Amino acid sequence: MAAVTSASLSKPAPLWQRALPHVLAVLFFVVLACAYFAPIVWEGKSLAQHDISQFQGGAHEAQEYAKATGKEALWNNSMFSGMPAYLISLHFSGDLTPYLQKIMTVGLPPVVANLFLALLCGYVLLVALGVRPLVATVGAVALGFSSYNLAILLAGHNTKSYALAYAPLVLGGLLVTFRRNKWLGAALFTFGLAMNLRANHIQITYYLLLLVAIFGVVELVAAVRAGQLPAFAQRVALLAVGGALALGVSFGRLYTTYEYSKYSNRSPSELKALPAAPGQAAAPSQAQQDRDYAFAYSYGIGESMTLLVPNFYGGSSSMPLGTDSNLAKAGLPTEYLAQMPTYWGDQSYVAGPVYLGVVMGFLFILGLFVVDKRTRYWLLAGTILSLLLAWGKNFETFNNLIFDYLPGYRSFRAVSMGLVIAQLAVPLLGALALSKVLQGGVKSEKLKVPGLPGSTTEETFNSQLLTNKVLYAGAVTTGILILAWVLSFGFDFASPVDASLTKSGFTPQLLGALRADRADLLRNDIWRGLFFVGAALGVLYFHRKGKLGAAPAAAVMVALVLIDLWGADKRYLNADSFQRGTIAESFEPTPADQQILQDKDLSYRVLNTGNPFNEAQTSYFHKSIGGYHGAKLRRYQDLIERQIAQNNQQVLNMLNTRYIVFASQQQGQPAQVQRNPEALGNAWFVSEVKTVQNPDEEMAALDKFTPAITAVVDASKFPEVKPATYDPQGSTIALTNYSPDALTYRCNALRPGFVVFSEVYYAAGWQAFLDGKPVPHVRANFVLRAMPMPAGAHTVEFKFEPKAYTIGNGVSLASSIGLLLVVAGAVVYGVRRKEALATA
C-alpha cells in the first residue's frame, strides 16, 4: 500500500468534482423553471401577460421598421400622436449586455428565463459568501419563487423581473468586497449592477440602492469603531469605480430617459389647477395630485402579514372558491364561484399578495439570533424600511417626508413595490441563518464573522445555546401565527367592493357567506403555515441533536421552501394563465381595423373611443391618438385631460384624426368606423398667428379656436414669434415621404406664410430643415410643431436626431468593453487565486 503523505492529504479535489455541485444546482434550476412554465416549454403556449401585450402593440411600428430597413427608429408615431421610441422599444447598439444575458439564460424562452435567472443569481449570491451549495439552493429557491416574482410575470412586468433577478449579484458583490475579497467582490458588484441597470427598471434599482446605502452606514460604523476607516474608504472607492462603469454601460438608456423625464407626465404640469366649480371642493394641488398618484397602491399595515400568510387578506382581487365554500352552501350558482372578490384590503387591485414563505420567515427570525450582528442589523433595518415605504398613505407621517425630501423618490408610483427590499433581505438572512446552523460541530462552535482586515470579531456559541436559539425562533414564528389566528376572530372581513356587490343583487346572506369564506382562507393558511414551521423546526432540531446530517437536512429544507412557495404561487399563476400561440399572434385586426387599413395614405391618426388612453391594440395597426404607457409627454397628458376628454373636435382635427372608432351599442356587434372629414391632414398654412403669454393662456385658447385658420403660440417660450396675419390662398404643403423618425414635405408657398404640422413637438431631438439647411421651428397649439415659411417651392424635412442618444450610445459601447474586461479579469484572477491557495 502506498504511503499516505501530508501532501496527498491536502491535495485539492479535481476541478470537475468541485464544479459538480454547482452544475447540478444549475440543472435543478433549469428543471424547476421549465416545470413551472411547462405550457410554454412543452405546449407552445404563452403567458397571457397584459403589459407585454400592450408593449407589443406600442412597439409594433418600430419593430416592423427595423425589420424592413435594418435601422432603429428613434421616434414612435403609433402611441399618443408620437413619443420617443427609446421609452417603448429600442436597442442601444453600444450596450453589449444583451449578449451576456443570452449566455446566462442558456437559451430559455422569455418568462422561463426570468425565473431561471432569479434562481441562478440568488444561488451565486450565497455561494459567493461561502455558503454550501445545498444551503445556497434553499436561498435561491426562496428568492426565485417569492410570490411577487410570479405575480409581476403574470402582469407582464418582465423588465421589473429582470431587475429583481440581478439584484442578488449586486448584494453578493457588496458583501464579498467587504467580507472576503475586494477585487472579486468589486467585479461581481460591477457586473450585477450593470445587468440590473440594463433591465431598465429604475424603481427597482432605486430600492436596491437604498439597501446598499443602509449596508454602507452599518459598515461605516463598524469601520469607525475598529479604526479601519482607510480600508473602508478603499473599498467604497473601488465600488464607486465599478458603479460608474456599470452606469456607463446603460448610459445611453439612462441619459435619454433622464432627458425625457423633464418632459414626461412624471414631471409637474406647467398649468395651474382648474378652479373648482360652484359648490364643489377646490381641486387638489399638483403636489397633492402627485402624492396621491404615487400612494394609490399602498400596502395596508395589517396586510403586511401576507409575508407569512398569503391569504391573510384574501389573496388576489378575485379567487376561485370551491363547491364546499360558504358561498356555494348559501346557494350561489357554481359558475360564479370561479372568480369571487376574496381580497378585502384597501388596494384597488392586487394580482396576488407579497408572500416570502413561512419557512423562510422562520429562518429570517432565526437569523436575528444567530447571524453576525452587522449583517443582521443591516437586513433587519432594510426589512423595516421596506415595510414603512410600502405602507404609503397608511403611514403618512413618515412617507410624506420621504416623498418630499428623498431625492428622486417622487418620480415613482406604486409604493407597495417597496416590499422588494424585504424580498431580498428576508431570504438572504434566512439562508445565512440556515448555513450557521448546518455548518457542523455538535459540542462547541466558533462562528467567525469576517470583516475588514484587522477588525474581525468572534462570536462563540455553545452547542446547546445554538439549539435553544433554533427553538426560540420556532416559538416566535409560531406565536405570531397563533396570535394572528386569535385576532382574526375580531376582523369583519368587509371589503370596499362589497357595496357594489350589494347593488348588483348580492343578498345579505350571500355577503355574509363571502366574508366567512375570506375568514376561512385566512385561518386555513395559518394552519398551513404552522405545519411548515413545525416541519422546518423539526428538521433543524434533529440535526442539532445529531440525528440528521447537514446534507439531508439541507435537502429537506429545499423541499419545504419549494413546496411552500410553489403551492402559494400556483394560486395566482397556474394553467389558466396561459394561452395558445404567442402574444403577437393574438393581435387580430377587427373589421374596423381592416376597414381603416384600406386607406393607404402615408400618415393619419385613429381614435378608438373605447378606453383610448389605456390600450395599445389600436397602436398595433394604426397611428393612435391614444395608447398605453406610464410616462406620456406631460403636455400631451394635459391636452388629454383639458381638451380631448372634453370632446374638443377641433383638437382632434389638428391631430389629423381621420378615423374615429365607436363601440357598437348592440352587444356582440362589431365596432363602427366614422371618417372625420374635418381632419386637417399632415400640415397646413394658417391665416393668423395668435400669441399668448403663458401655458394656461395657450391651453385656454384651444377651448374655442379653429386650427385650420389660427395657430396659437406661447410668446414667453418663443419670443421670436409675433402676432401676424397671412394669406394662405393657393399655398400648399403635402407629406411626400414618411418614416417614424424622418418626415419630408413638398411645399409651394405663393407668398410668405406660417405652417402648422400635425406632429408632436419635442425639442430634445427633432430638427427642421428647409431645402437641406437647418432652420428653427416652434411649438404651436400647445403640442404641435410649426414654422414660418418663405415664399417659393421648398422641401421641408423633420429628422429626429437626439444628441442624448448619440452621446449615450458611445459611452455605453466604451463602458461595455470595460465591463467585458472586468469580467474576464475577475475570472482569470479567481482561477489563479484558487490554484495558489490549493498549492500553498
Q: What is the pLDDT of residue 557?
A: 97
99 domain-assigned: no
CA 59-65-70 angle, 5° bins:
120
Confidence band, pLDDT 50/70/90 cuts, at residue 289: low
Give the per-residue pLDDT at 92. Answer: 82
**Does the pLDDT of residue 462 top 50, yes or no?**
yes
Banded pLDDT at 452 (limits 50, 70, 90): very low
Query: Which of 553, 579, 605 marks a domain boundary?
Result: 579
Calculate mean pLDDT across residues 738-752. Answer: 95
Q: Is 87 contained in some domain?
A: no
Instruction: Say if CB 762 and CB 799 are below 8 A apart.
Output: no
First to last CA, the chain: 27
Domain span at residue 64 reads 50-79+588-681
Same domain, 723 and 669: no
HSE-CB of 51 using CA atoms within 13 angstroms: 14
Q: Tell me what pLDDT residue 332 has.
A: 87
694 CB-contact burial (10 Å; exposed 0-12 / middle 13-18 / buried 19+): middle
**Distance between CA 412 and CA 201 in Å, rounded?**
11
521 plus 652 within the same structural domain = no
Q: Evaluate whether residue 30 is within a structural domain.
A: yes
Q: What is the pLDDT of residues 649-682, one digit of tens each?
A: 999 999 999 999 988 766 667 888 999 999 999 9
Residue 7 located in a structural domain? no
The answer to whether residue 543 sits within a structural domain is: yes
Band the pLDDT of 15: cuts 50, 70, 90: low
705 in the same domain as 597: no
| Ranges 63-67, 331-335, 572-576, 798-802, most confident | 798-802
Q: Residues of the chain with pLDDT > 70: what percent?
A: 91
483 pLDDT tier (thresholds 50, 70, 90): very high
- Do residues 615 and 628 touch, judged by C-beta distance below 8 A? yes
For residues 713 and 659, state if they share a domain.
no
**Sequence-ordered alpha helix ranges (H) in 413-549:** 420-438, 463-487, 498-503, 508-544
Q: Per-residue confidence at 566, pLDDT binned at 50, 70, 90?
A: very high
Pick from 521, 553, 579: which residue ends a domain?
A: 579
Confidence of residue 449 (pLDDT cuts 50, 70, 90): very low
Residue 338 and residue 197 share a domain: yes
The residue among 554, 579, 604 that closes a domain is 579
Query: Are 508 and 627 found together in one domain?
Result: no
Question: Which distant-in-sequence residues (6+ apart) come within 8 Å of 197 by Cβ?
Answer: 205, 246, 247, 249, 250, 253, 254
> Above 50 in pLDDT, residue 383?
yes
DSSP conformation class of 667? T
For every residue of 30-56, DSSP letters joined together read HHHHHHHTHHHHHH-EEE--HHHHHHH
Instruction: Check pLDDT > 90 for residue 825.
Output: no
DSSP state, residue 320: -
Q: pLDDT digits over 596-642, tens only?
A: 999 999 899 999 988 888 888 899 999 999 998 878 899 999 999 99
Torsion, Cα 557 558 560 563, to 10 degrees, reads: 180
Whether the Cβ atoms of residue 685 and residue 726 lie closer than 8 Å to each other:
yes
137, 25 Cβ separation under 8 angstroms? yes
**167 located within any domain:** yes
Predicted local confidence at residue 286, as pLDDT: 57
pTM to 2 decimal places: 0.87
Q: Does residue 598 sit in the same domain as residue 574?
A: no
Phi first, then psi, for residue 752 (nearest 5°) are -55, 140
- 745 with 672, same domain: the answer is no
Asked if residue 711 and residue 625 are part of one domain, the reply reads no
What's the pLDDT band for 280 if we cut at 50, 70, 90? low
Closest among 473, 300, 314 to 387, alpha carbons compared: 300
* The predicted structure's pLDDT at residue 294: 80
Rg over alpha carbons for the chain, rounded to the nearest Å, is 30
Structural domain includes residue 163: yes
What pLDDT is stored for residue 447 in this prediction?
36
pLDDT at 37 over 60: yes
Rounded Cα distance between 708 and 711, Å, is 8
**Closest alpha carbon to 539 in 555, 553, 529, 560:** 553
One domain, residues 749 and 778: yes
pLDDT, greater one: 691 or 8: 691
Question: How many domains would you assign to the chain?
Answer: 3
Tell me whether residue 797 is in a domain.
yes
pLDDT band at residue 272 using 50, 70 and 90 as cut-offs: confident
Size (the chain), residues: 840
| pLDDT score at 445 | 35
Helices (H) and strands (E) counted in the chain, each on its own, are 29, 22
Residue 236 has pLDDT above 90, yes or no: yes
Q: What is the pLDDT of residue 503?
A: 83
Percent of the chain with pLDDT over 90: 65
Closest CA to 90 of 206, 262, 252: 252
Sequence letter at residue 498:
D
For 724, the enclosing helix (H) or strand (E) is strand 724-725
Same domain, 750 and 607: no
* Residue bearing the bigger pLDDT, 9 or 17: 17
pLDDT of 275 strictly over 80: no
- Across the range 343-358, mean pLDDT stands at 91
Based on the number of CB atoms within 10 Å of its own CB, is 30 exposed (0-12), middle (13-18) or buried (19 or more)? Answer: middle
The pLDDT tens digits for 801-814 are 999 988 998 999 99
What is the mean predicted confidence (pLDDT) over 306-313?
95
What pLDDT is stored for residue 285 in this prediction? Answer: 58
Tens digits of residue pLDDT in 504-535: 888 899 999 999 999 999 999 999 999 999 99
Nearest CA to 58 among 633, 639, 623, 761? Answer: 623
Residues 57 and 162 in one domain: no
